[in-house]
Amino acid sequence: MRLSKLILCISLCVSLFSEVAFSEPVLITTIDISDAGEGKRMLLGDLTGDGRLEMIMMQGDKM
């Protein structure tokens, strides 16, 4: 019974946040990577597979 109440609470919270809080994208900040030189890249993605977003910074080498 306790587990079912917890699952119900989580599902209600998820549905509430998905409809209200995250309906419009909001710019929080910007990151200037222009000083990193040529070949710089900033990527966002789930690198580890845990469902969380990671920021990956790359800079190419000149050989």
pLDDT band at 19 (very low <50, low <70, confident <90, very high): low
Q: pLDDT value at position 11?
A: 65
Q: pLDDT value at position 33?
A: 81
Q: Which residues contact 10 (CB under 8 A, 6 or more apart)?
A: none
Q: What b-and-e string marks burial along 32-45, b requiring 16 or more CB atoms within 10 Å of the CB?
A: eeeeeeeeeeeeee
Instruction: Report angle CA 50, 10, 45 to the nearest 5 degrees.
Output: 25
Tell me what the mean pLDDT of segment 17-32 comes to: 70
pLDDT tens across 25-62, in order?
A: 778 888 888 887 787 888 888 888 898 888 888 877 76
Residue holding tokens 């969380």? Answer: 52
Among 29, 13, 11, residue whose Cα is nearest residue 21: 13
